[in-house]
Amino acid sequence: MQKELFCKVKLEVSETELGGVLLIKPYVFEDHRGEYIETYNKALYKEKGIEIKFVQDDISVSTKNVLRGIHGDDCTWKLISCLYGRFYLVVVNCDTKSKYFGKWQSFVLSDKNRLQVLVPPKYGNAHLVLSDMTIFHYKQSTYYDRSKQFTYKYDDSRLNIWWPIEKPILSQRDD
């Protein structure tokens, strides 16, 4: 069964409007028992040209209307997915030396569509919880070090990001 399942596994990878940011659709096996999703397989990702060494996995659990971010750093790749619920993800070019600084794109990730977004260094990401509860998951290519991160306010006028909410729930860091 496992060999048969592996042979059927397909990974769809597409480019986004942001250079270097990829949208990934892992294979979802469904039958009368439910679903089986392989969220990461080094060999399959390598086959698609994604050869990033991930060293840390993180999970964030939040309730509806919580907005986290915009955070990032100059050296970390992140592979973001939704394990449970639904959230609005924004990825923004935060490279102040780039002519594309401030360009952003949004995605809706959920436990139904199983989409993943690969975010390169110098990009920030933020997410707004759309469901009653969400489990946000990401793999990182470096170990977390808050002192090396940049933070932008979710409503920074230079970025002009559209959010589907007027008054999100924010942490002190993101307010």
Catalytic residue set: 71, 138
Give me the DSSP letters along the chain.
-HHHHHHH---EEEE-SSTT-EEEE--EEEETTEEEE----HHHHHHTT------EEEEEEEETTBEEEEEE-SS--EEEEEEESEEEEEEEE--TTSTTTT-EEEEEEETTT--EEEE-TTEEEEEEE-SSEEEEEEEESS---GGG-EE--TT-TTT----S-SS-B--TTT-
